[in-house]
Chain A
Amino acid sequence: MSSVAATVPAAAGGFPGRQWSRGMVISLTALAVLAPILLILYQSLLDAPFFDQAAKPGFGAYRFIFDDPDFWSAAKNSCFIAVGMALIAVPLGAALAFLMVRTDLPGQRWLEPLLLIPVFVSPMVLSFGYVVAAGPVGFYSVWFSDLFGGVPWNVYSLTSIAVIAGLTHVPHVYLYASAALKNLGSDVEEAARMSGASPLRVALDVSLPMVMPALLYSAVLVFFLGFEIFGLALVLGDPEGHLVLATYLYKLTNKLGTPSYHLMAAVAVCIIAVTVPLVMLQRHLMKNAAKYVSVKGKAGRQRPLPLGAWRWLAAALIAGWLVVTVLVPLSGIALRSVVNYWGEGVSLVDVLTLDHFRTVFGQPALMRGIWNTVLIGTIGGGLAVICYTAIGLATHRQPDGWSRFVDYLVLVPRAVPGLLAGLAFLWVFLFIPFLSPLRSTIFAVWLAYTVVWLAYGLRLVSSSLLQVGAELEEAARSAGASRARTSRDVTLPLIRHGLLASWLLVFMIFEREYSTAVYLLNPGTEVIGSLLVSLWATGGADMVAALSVINVVLVAVGLGVALRFGVKLHD
């Protein structure tokens, strides 16, 4: 099979038209990714803002952070959280995907949107939910300690942050794994089951190894995200002094009184330096991707695997995870949004109110923010997926230097904490003349979002692409279709589920993104995420709670519609 795959790019070599569009896609991607990154790298080698006439080159910024014990403690904590997250999120995400896609687990239809909820909510809000629900005087903590005389957990500990981060990133793994599993023929599983293997055995030895590329990609990405964790560490880690790299970077904003860009940039470069070996590792693991090709010309229909008695264990696993990750924080935030105040010794019935929502609906800026958030999720998300697909096709089955270049390229922006990426984009829009009129439009926010989440969207698109058998494309090419025609009539229709899932993911990510848009915030370009940050800073906990409930509801509605649409396409 791999030899067939290798012949396709060779055949494609003679089509200059396609090569031209491919070059175009790759250079645009490179420009969008590298402009802000190079700016950060350049900034890290100066001793003042790069636009300051007095800025001099030097390694002072690195010297400062390497001498700072806080930096090393933050780096250690980030490693701990990243490892913890990957260890928790990957096995659980894979298990969930298997149960949801390949088995007869009851209630899958209504369960699926629930599984994705942790992705909807910005980590800032989620952690606020945990404080309200399970903090020292949280709703559940008080009830629990009334019953048992104390609470065994402490949401502010480093371990709690790692566990919460791990549990909330399960959906990321789940989405990658399930998108891949959906494209997998069920014949091999049936064969294993008929030979007497238990469902667990089938999952571990047959199905999950088949989607190894998706799992590896998601493992690396979850590990990345471990280094990018900001909101959780800010809200939960701050009070007890647990720093991670992103909160250390945030601390540098004010530590010297005026924002120290050079120090922030140096920390960002360190984070990027951690991720590059990860990408190399990932490429090494992915060398034999062709052996996972599983949708072949004769792929049969998928049949769900009967779970038998295992279904109860599976149901308990999912229910437990949902309670901890969704029910606890979201009920906390929902409750917070309808009370005036809360805490030890407050009877909640006496303080119920809808005023917070009334205030939100009465403020034009907040209403504009809600509307813009919807637009950037739906239309912006769709446009982003189109871009990701174009990039995916430009590297699909063309294992040359350019594809390798793009592979490395797309993972870089995710390594830069959103806050700094947003700042870098502000600089790009300020100092590149033809872009500056667009700075105060929603396009700036969209471009920043699209670039920051490039790795996510593209991995989803390309793990679907990997599942398409080369012989299908080969057949079309033999029948005389051009590369473009093959992509349009063979590849794209085959990966439509992957694209839909990708749009869904991108929609949700765009809805909850909170730090990237902060510096691009202007009247007219408000989005809920950046409004939450600014309201949080000025003490508007009431508004934050109400606005995040609105955010969750919006996304839930959007997701419901999308799922119905998706299900119809499926049948």
Chain B
Amino acid sequence: MKSVRHLALALCAWAALPLAHAQAPAGYPSDYAALVAAAKQEGKVRIYAATDTAAANPLIKDFEALYPGVKVEYSDMNTTELYNRVISEKAAGGTSGDVFWSSSMDLQIKLVNDGFALTYKSPEASKLPDWAVWRNEGYGTTYEPIVFIYNKRLLKPEEVPQSHGDLAKVLAANPERFKGKLTSYDIEKSGVGFLLITQDASLNPAFWDMAKAIGAASPRFQSSSGTMMERVGSGENLLGFNLIGSYALQRAKKDPGIGVVMPKDYTLVMSRIMFITKTAQNPNAAKLWLDYILSRRGQTVIANQSGLGSIRADVEGELTAHGLARTLGNALKPIQVGPGLLTYLDQAKRLEFIKQWQQTAAARK
């Protein structure tokens, strides 16, 4: 009986081989076919992600078409839930995700740093910019500029700030007009918002002057980008800063009232970090998924169907590292994937920054 099963397995593996060979893209190691076969044996990959299903669906469909037999189990949750789930499940020792994918770059690097990630050198790694790979564990997967948004119906073209310096100037010139009509992340409630503002603080020499101008406008801080876009779109707020460009551009396509500006002095670029877990139950399928996401094929889907922006230089399109570099050049400032992200996870430093920000930029009551 046992031998029959062995024979059947061997036959299957043999039958799958030529197919697998055909699928392994050029430049991949010769034993990649074995990885594909092992992944098919596992049959599925469990992904915990803070990227909404609508954006991930084209990737999932394409991946399942490329590797039939490997099913994607995709759980969509917000960044905080993701972190909570990951650390509790690890402590309990039960089943967890195989791949974690989140826009909360600092928490992802913390997880990598705390030993959650599997070391795996993706054959695609050489195609990524240096800043996007850390220790062959955490991989930046997307290229998402951080933008201003404004209400096109209510804001005159000359009032639209084109840079961070402009933002401070526009606000200072007309504090009454913008009173209660400026929006951004509440940095106490949103980890992404905190990350972005601290990046601003280190890149912008006039940061605290800008913060003062922001505070004078009695800003309305929100915990999610959805709320900000909804309120700028409706005209309740006029202007928003530090929004994730991929969301804003998608929204602007549907709502012609929303305008998007990539600041000319510097545009931060965020990248969703992905890593495979050390305790993954489907490690081979997980590797396959990571390689696919980083591959040219996957990145093309990311840029053109998911609207998240490709990190690879060899993918064409408007929302890609390549396309953006043409218009913004050196103004693009990608956030480095690495331990620098951990600075403000130190409690005292973080509270200190929050306090200073609140005193300068929070709405006057």
Interface residues of A (CB under 8 A from B): 49, 51-52, 131-132, 135-137, 234-235, 238-241, 250-251, 253-259, 340-346, 359, 363, 365, 423, 426-427, 430-431, 436, 439-440, 518-519, 521-523, 533-542, 544
Contact = CB atoms under 8 A, between A and B. Distances in A.
B363 interface: yes
Interface string B218-237: 00111111110110011110
Given A258-B110, A340-B254, A534-B52, 15 more contacts: A137-B234, A137-B235, A240-B363, A241-B362, A255-B354, A256-B350, A256-B351, A258-B83, A341-B254, A341-B257, A343-B233, A344-B153, A363-B57, A440-B95, A540-B226
A257 B351 CA distance: 10
Contacts of A540: 52, 54, 226
26 contacts: A49-B87, A135-B236, A240-B220, A241-B363, A241-B365, A254-B191, A255-B188, A257-B106, A258-B110, A341-B256, A341-B257, A342-B234, A343-B236, A345-B154, A423-B84, A430-B92, A431-B92, A440-B95, A519-B81, A535-B52, A537-B226, A538-B52, A538-B78, A539-B226, A539-B247, A541-B229
A68 to B, nearest CB: 10
Contact of A436 (B92, B224, B235): B92
A343 B81 contact: no
Contacts of A234: 223
A344 B234 contact: yes
A519 B363 contact: no
B344 A257 contact: yes
Contacts of A436: 92, 94
Given A238-B223, A539-B247, A52 B106 contact: no
Contacts of B154: 344-345
Contacts of B92: 51, 430-431, 436
Interface of B: 52-54, 57, 73-78, 80-81, 83-85, 87-89, 91-92, 94-95, 106-107, 110, 151, 153-154, 186, 188-191, 194, 220-227, 229-230, 233-236, 247, 251, 254-258, 344-345, 347, 350-351, 354, 362-363, 365
A161 B88 CA distance: 35
A345 B223 contact: no
B267 to A, nearest CB: 20
B85 A426 contact: yes
Nearest to A52: B91
B191 A257 contact: yes
B94 A430 contact: yes
B194 A254 contact: yes
Contacts of A255: 188-189, 350-351, 354
Given A345-B235, A423-B84, A523 B190 contact: no
A254 B188 CA distance: 6
Contacts of B255: 340-341
B1 to A, nearest CB: 29
B104 to A, nearest CB: 9
A544 B234 CA distance: 16
Contacts of A239: 220-222
Given A341-B255, A538-B226, A521 B75 contact: yes
Contacts of A535: 52, 226
A51 B87 CA distance: 9
A251 B189 contact: yes
A205 B325 CA distance: 78
B229 A534 contact: no
Given A238-B222, A534-B52, A537-B226, A259 B236 contact: no
A439 B95 CA distance: 10
